[in-house]
Amino acid sequence: MSKLFTPLALRGLTLANRIVVSPMCQYSAQRGEATDWHMIHLGHLALSGAGMLCIEATAVEPDGRITPGDLGLWDDVTENALKPVLETIRRYSPIRVAMQISHAGRKASSHVPWEGGQLIPVSEGGWLPHAPSALPHKDDETPPLALDAAGLNRIREAFAATTRRAARLGIDAIEVHAAHGYLLHEFLSPVANQRTDEYGGSRENRMRFPLEIFDIVRAAFPADRPVGVRVSATDWVEGGWTPDDTVAFAHELKRRGADWIDVSSGGVSPLQKIPVEPAYQVPFARKVKQETGLTTIAVGLITDPLQANQIVDDGDADMIAMARAMLYDPRWPWHAAAQLGASVSAPPQYWRSQPREQKALFGDITIGQR
């Protein structure tokens, strides 16, 4: 049996295999509300055969959106917009559904990527972002508003409220977004955090607010459902957050009951220098797993089934998260299972697509025909 296609238990949740559909921003919501695009997009990814599908970064408050098109979960309207999407997935797929909850921090109020992705000025319909310190992401941008005590408390309450709404929707797992230069990563990184209070300065102080948010989310979510965290293992910038910092953060998350750490990198500075190559972030996942024992997810240019299986088989990570490769090939888990001699779940409407030479791809099934 391929290790990639063995089950994995996370608290009361069992994944059928180790493949995760990564949270991928679609920038297609309206006022934070899911649209027909989310029904199509998440619906067809739910038929991928992966063990878990993670809904894109979902803002905990309107000002926490990366773009005006970001998905949100902050009131009854945004909650109700997601209900039919999730009900449809449940009706046709056994896939486990997670949600990544997030606040964009100083990278908020941006144009969607296909319109350039730059900061939208307030004069053009944008809003002033909030951040740990009044430091812009790019030198030519308007500085964000530094969060004061009231602002920190507002964000704490927003994460708690979004988590409760996610639980009410039946979301199986939560991933707290503390990567890619968004708010919680901004607190962690000395590149973005120059506070002089208890939330800035030393590594311990810079970790304080992200750890508080994790504790708040964990307390607001049912105890039998898992909560993980996505991190950027390194800023790829001199003087920034490092892999050793990530290990220290992971130790604290494990002590607080985190169920996994999703190990990515970069995003906090346009000065980053990333040596992109296949599986370039896997060494970070390996380091965290070896030094903390925490369940890890590996991400980043993992596209080949043999490569993915080797990562899990070697113990470098416990799960593989697929993003762009899954957009390009939404049936990647089917093809990986066929190549590795495993089986996946598929809707009966698709059983006849099973190649003759892969009779066990969808398990022990019988197809009758008049």
**Cα angle at 299 between 297 and 304, to 5 degrees?**
110
- Angstrom distance (rounded) from CA 160 to CA 266: 26
- Whether the CB-CB separation of 58 and 98 falls below 8 Å is answered with no
φ, ψ for residue 346, nearest 5 deg: -145, 150
* 244: nearest Cα among 290, 208, 212: 290
- Angstrom distance (rounded) from CA 5 to CA 334: 11
Name the one residue in this structure whose structure tokens are 């803002």.
Answer: 59
- Angstrom distance (rounded) from CA 253 to CA 226: 13
- Angstrom distance (rounded) from CA 214 to CA 280: 27
- Angstrom distance (rounded) from CA 334 to CA 45: 12
Strands 96-102 and 130-131: unpaired
* 159: nearest Cα among 259, 227, 253: 227
* 133: nearest Cα among 213, 214, 189, 216: 189
Q: Cα torsion for 232, 283, 252, 100, to the nearest 10°?
A: 40
280 a catalytic residue: no
- Running DSSP on this structure, what letter comes out for residue 323? S
The token pair at 213 is: 């948010």
Name the one residue in this structure whose structure tokens are 């994944």.
Answer: 15
Identified catalytic residue from 27, 182, 199, 280: 182
- Angstrom distance (rounded) from CA 125 to CA 145: 17
Instruction: Give buried/exposed letters for 326-359 (b at 16+ CB in 10 A, else e).
Output: beeebbbbbebbbebebbbbbeeeeeeebeeeee
Positions annotated as catalytic residues are: 182
